[in-house]
Amino acid sequence: MQQRTYVMVKPDAVERRMIGRIVGRFERVGLAIERLELGMVTSAQAAANYAEHEGKPFYEGLISYITSGPVVKMVLSGPEAVSVVRKLMGATNPRDAAPGTIRGDLGLTLDANVVHGSDSPESAEREIGIFFGE
């Protein structure tokens, strides 16, 4: 089934100049880039995106981190795009991510795990709305 998903190359990966390596992995498996933008995440966008974590001990640090530097915001599409992206990214914690996955190969820590991807088609549409106003 054709799907759209939201992907963000996080500030740590942008700072480490990994944009091309990360985006290339998605392209190599046949996902299409519908939209791509380099920019900052606003406090309002961060709060909306991470609303389910509000009140948790790590929330303030997460908001501070994701708004700390430029990110690459993307809408990718293709067959089963959400699950394809999740598999390519690997486990959230890079130490648990398999070699060959983006986080397994490039991630440093749980906080600096280089990439975010929507976890469901519903989350994808919500996140696309937050970051691209669709």
pLDDT in tens, 112-126: 899 999 999 999 999
Looking at 6, 116, 118, 130, which residue is catalytic? 116
- In which domain, by residue range, is 96 found? 2-132
- pLDDT-based confidence at 10, cuts 50/70/90? very high
Q: What is the C-alpha to C-alpha distance for residues 30 and 104, in angstroms, rounded to an integer?
A: 21
**Helix, strand or coil, per DSSP, at residue 50:** coil
pLDDT(134) > 80: no
Q: DSSP letter for 96, please.
A: T
For the chain, how big is the Rg over CA atoms in Å?
14
Full-model pTM: 0.94
Q: Is 116 a catalytic site residue?
A: yes
Total domains in the fold of the chain = 1
pLDDT in tens, 42-90: 999 999 999 999 999 999 999 999 999 999 999 999 999 999 999 999 9
- pLDDT-based confidence at 110, cuts 50/70/90? confident
We report the CATH number of the domain holding residue 6 as 3.30.70.141
Beta sheet of 32-39, edge-to-edge order:
32-39, 71-79, 2-9, 115-117
